[in-house]
Amino acid sequence: MLAASVASGQTAKKAPSKATSLKSGGPPSTLDGVYTDAQARRGKDVYFGSCRSCHSAESHTGATFAQWWKGKQLSDLFVFIATKMPKNDPGSLAPEDAADVVAYLLKMNVMPVGKHDLPPDVDSLAKFRIDVRPAKKVKPANSSAASGSTSTGKKP
C-alpha cells in the first residue's frame, strides 16, 4: 500500500487517533521529537547527494519552511519528497531515504530529536502535524547604547 499511495502522490486519510502531543495536548506534532539524530544524519547524506545541487538550506528552513508546511501533516511532506524529488529524477528515492530526508529537514528547522525513527509509511506519518518553533524575538537595541552615548548623555 505504501508504494501505491506514494506513487499516486496521495496521502492517507487520517484515521481517528487517540495519540496526543506531549507539548500541547493536541494532535502529535513535530515538536514532540518524532525522529532520531541518527536518522537525520542519514538524511543529511541523502540530501547532500540528491538534493543540494538544486536546493539551498534556506529554501527548507525558517519562514520558507513554515510557509509551505506549517499545519500540514508530516505525510504530506514525505509524499512530496518521495514522489517529486529529486527534481532531476522524481520518485527515485527509496521510501526509507525519503523519511530520512524528512528527518534532516526537521533537524534543520530545530525540531527536537526523539527516540524512534520516522517510519517510511504514509499512514504512520499522517498522524503528525508539522509545527514550527516560534521565531525568536530580537530585542531592539538600547537607543543610548546604539548611539554611543552613556546614561549621562556623553560619549565614552
- DSSP assigned state of 129: B
pTM of the model: 0.73
In a domain? residue 75? yes
In a domain? residue 78? yes
Q: What's the pLDDT tens digit per position in 9-62?
A: 444 333 334 455 555 567 899 999 999 999 999 999 999 999 887 888 788 899
How many structural domains is the chain composed of? Answer: 1
84/16 Cα distance (integer angstroms): 28
Position with higher pLDDT, 68 vs 24: 68
**DSSP SS3 for 73:** strand
Q: What's the pLDDT tens digit per position in 106-153?
A: 999 999 999 999 999 999 999 999 999 876 655 555 544 444 444 444
55/22 Cα distance (integer angstroms): 33
In a domain? residue 49? yes
In a domain? residue 106? yes
In a domain? residue 95? yes
In this structure, what CATH number is given to the domain that contains residue 47?
1.10.760.10
In a domain? residue 21? no
Range of the domain at 105: 35-136
Nearest CA among 136, 109, 135, 129 for reference residue 32: 129
36 in the Ramachandran plot: left (φ > 0), alpha (ψ -120 to 50) or beta? beta
In a domain? residue 24? no
Phi, psi of 27 (to 5 degrees): -60, 150
In a domain? residue 15? no
Q: At what angle do helices 95-108 and 37-50 cross, to 10 degrees?
A: 100
